[in-house]
Each structure stands twice: as structure tokens, then as C-alpha cells.
Amino acid sequence: MRPIISIKNTLAQGGFDQLLSHIYCRPAAQLQPFRDRITCVADGFMKEFDRDENTEAAIFSAPGRTEIGGNHTDHQRGKVLTGSVDLDAVACAAPNGTGTVRIFSEGYGMTAVDCSALAPVKEEENTTKAIIRGMLAAVAEKGYPVAGFDAFVISDVPGGSGLSSSACFEVLVGVMLNGLFCKNEISLAEIARIGQYAENVYFGKPSGLLDQMGCALGGIVAIDFFRKEAPEYHEVQYDFASAGYALCIIDTGGDHSDLTADYAAVPAEMRSVAEALGKEVLSEVDEKDFYKAVPELRKKLGDRALMRAVHYYADCRRVEQQVKALEENAFDRFLDLVTESGHSSYMYLQNVDTYRDPAHQPVALALAMADHYLAGRGAFRVHGGGFAGTIQAFVPLDMVDGFRADMDSVLGSGACRVTYIRPVGGCVLVE
């Protein structure tokens, strides 16, 4: 850590420009907004916690993530292709010498958690406090001496954006704990698992590990979750812009409220297929055995669970093919696979809409408009959990401005956002 005045002076003199350029994928001429954000969190920290500029602190960052392949495959310990994006949460943090963690998030306010009370609290489910308490408990369980600290957080990963704002926050808390109390000894993959634990056990959301791994690791990463305690992953080097395409995330404006049951039904139905075949998750069931059992499974489970299993097997296979296509620079083949994944999610996984209110289908409409505006070029698909939120599109660079304007005209100003793959995951920006 270093005095805040030193951080601000070095920042103003361009001393962090090389680092910022690498992390945020921007040339030096475009770094001022990123310098301003760091200054803002430092100033916010001093104001909110009544600290002066001689206070020693550190700056931490955790990115959002985009799911590039493998829609709803992670919770079955399947395969995914994910990427960290240039939108992130940034924090200025320092120990406070007490037993209380205080995190002030701009736009959300203060959350305080007592480090001596780390058991799950039922009434805290679906709250920020639950996430923090769960992260503290998991780190303490590993034998590290967690203690009180103050943090001021700014995030440009919008909630409900499909970029995993909750996992981004979990990874941010993880890297702060790691840097402040654990000598950065906890691996990023383990921070991801700690985040999933906090979300599953304390927050009360049955999520897979895709979101946390995507936010924690950085770059484009192929992950195989079959080994529960030690997922296998490797980085895939690829620059979409070099292939002539931009990665766009489009916010459909759908309402995420009251969708917990719809999200939970996807893993539950897939697991029901696996359990009917004597296994825990679909990754443990041979695809041939599944198809042989379909006639009997249909009598027991109905149709939708089987269609979701069909999607699972095909999308895991597509992840392998996507990785191969990128590594061989066969980008047209990659785009075909993105489109195939989108069709599978729509037809078999069925996470484009709940159909409880058929007059309003924002994700389906966004997909239809992307199909129309791209006119056979690029690719598009539902993104992330589905039902509401975002879609993803790979757009030819010569079409980006027009595509963005057209999508915004239907879905609202700023709905279509061009994103960049960030090469660095959760990290200490300045220590």
C-alpha cells in the first residue's frame, strides 16, 4: 500500500498509464476517464471514511464477464468459453483497525459486516451483506486472519446487464481480502470458488462457477468444470477486432424481478435427468446413454427437461469446436457456432422468455432485430442466464455504428454497448 496522495500524484503524472492501457485495452490518449475513476474512488474513500491523503491504501479492480460459449452448462459441470470485459468495479481500500468490514458502493450506500459473526443469516439472503459475510467466512475457513477494512467502490458493470455484476463484486471483495490479509496467496481460481460459495450458501442463489471464473481469471478462457474441486482451464489468445468484428452486449430492458424460479428450474431439470440415470449432474452421464433412455425419461420427467439436456450436450460440444476455431483462426466457423448456440438456447434450453406475459418478449424482440440488422453477417445469441437482460452480437466493424443506432432506436439509448476483452482479471491495480 502507499499514501493516497502518492497514488493521486503518480496517476496525474502518467505513472500508471502503461498498466491502465494494458488492462483497459485503450491507447494512452484515451486513458483520462480511467485515471478519473481511480481519483474518484480515492477521493470517495477519504470523504466517506474521514481519512486524509496520507492514509496508506490500495486500489483493486474486478471485471465483468461475457459468456462466449456454453449457455447454462456450468452448473452441470460442463464446458464453457468465457471472457473478462473492460467494464469493471474499482475500489480504494485499507484496513481500519476494527473488527468490522465497511464497504460503501456508489449508488447503493454502506454495508457493514462484523468479522466475528460469520455464520449464514437467513434474513440476509439476496443482499450485499450476505455476499460479504460469505466471502469473509470462506477466507477465514482457510486459516487467514480476516479483519476490518474500509472500501469505497465504483462500478460500471450494470446490475442485470448479463455481465455478472454480482460475481464481479464477489471477485472484488475476494481480491481485497487477498491483498489486505492473505499476502495475495489465494489463487484467482480459488477466489472464484469462494465467490460461488458465498452466492450459493449465503446469498441463496444456485449459480454455477462460470460467472466468478470469468470475472476472476482475465482474457478469453476455456473452462471444463467436470473436476468439481479443480476445474481445468486454459487461456485462448484471440483478438476479435483483428478478425474485423466488435463484441456487442445489448441490454433488452427486461425485468429480472421474480425470475428466480425460472433460473432455478434450468439446473433443477437438468439434474433431474442426471439423477434419473443414477448420476448427480449431466457431465457424469454419457450422451449415448441419455439418448437411449429418452423414451423412458419422457414418461417420468416430461419434455422440457429432456430438451434442456439435449441443449447441454450440444453446447458443451460447441465450446470445444469454438476453441478449436479460434485457435485455428477460423473465425467464420466460430461465428456459425455462436449462431448454433443461440438457436439451441432458444429452441431447446428455452431461456429467451417465460411466456407468462406473451405481449412483452424483450429478449426475443432483440434477437429478431439483431437478425434483421445484421442481415446474414456476424452472429448473435441470448447471453448469460436469459429470460431477461442481454443478448450478445459479433458485429462487423463496418456495421458497428449503424447496428448500435438501430438497436438503440428499438431498445433505448445506450442499450447496445461495444465491449473489449480485458486481459487481466481480478487484480490489485495499485499497491
pLDDT, position 288: 98
Within a 10 A sphere around the Cβ of 29, how many other Cβ atoms? 7
Based on the domain organization, do 206 and 60 belong to the same domain? yes
- In a shared domain, residues 244 and 315: yes
In the structure grid, which three cell numbers stand for residue 330, read together?
Answer: 477460423
Identify whether residues 291 and 217 lie together within a single domain.
no
pLDDT score of 256:
61
Please count the structural domains in the chain. 2
- Does residue 426 contact residue 189 with C-beta atoms inside 8 Å? no
The verdict on 222 and 245 lying in the same domain is no
Which regions of 215-289 does DSSP assign to beta strands (E)? 220-224, 232-235, 245-251
Say which residue the cell 452448473 belongs to. Answer: 75
Give the model's pLDDT for residue 163: 67
CATH number at residue 101: 3.30.230.10
Half-sphere exposure of 377 (CA within 13 A, CB side): 13
Q: Give the CATH number for residue 377.
A: 3.30.70.890
Verify that 103 and 228 share a domain, yes or no. Answer: yes
Instruction: Verify that 194 and 317 share a domain, yes or no.
Output: no
Asked if 220 and 270 sit in the same domain, the reply is no
Set of cell numbers at residue 177: 481480502
Q: Verify that 273 and 196 share a domain, yes or no.
A: no
179 and 282 together in one domain = no
How far is C-alpha 355 from the chain's CA centre? 26
Say if CB 170 and CB 197 are below 8 A apart.
no
Report pLDDT for 162: 63
> For position 17, what pLDDT does the model report?
96
Nearest-Å Rg of the Cα atoms of the chain is 22
Q: 90: which strand partners? A: 61, 154
| Pair (355, 336) in one structural domain | yes
Say yes or no: 85 and 158 in one domain. Answer: yes
Give the pLDDT confidence score for residue 255 in this predicted structure. Answer: 65
- For 306, the enclosing helix (H) or strand (E) is helix 304-327
Here the cell at position 242 is 483483428
If phi over 0 gives left and psi between -120 and 50 gives alpha, with beta otherwise, what is residue 162? left
CA angle 61, 64, 69 (to 5 degrees): 140
Q: Are 221 and 83 in contact, with CB atoms under 8 Å apart?
A: yes
Pair 224, 302 in one domain: no
Local mean pLDDT, 10-residue blocks, the chain (431 residues)? 96 95 92 96 98 98 95 96 94 98 95 96 94 97 96 85 80 98 95 95 85 93 91 93 95 77 94 98 98 98 98 99 98 98 98 93 97 98 90 97 98 94 95 84
Domain range for 27? 2-237+422-430
Q: Say which DSSP state 96 is in.
A: -
Which residues sit opposite 380 in a β-bridge? 393
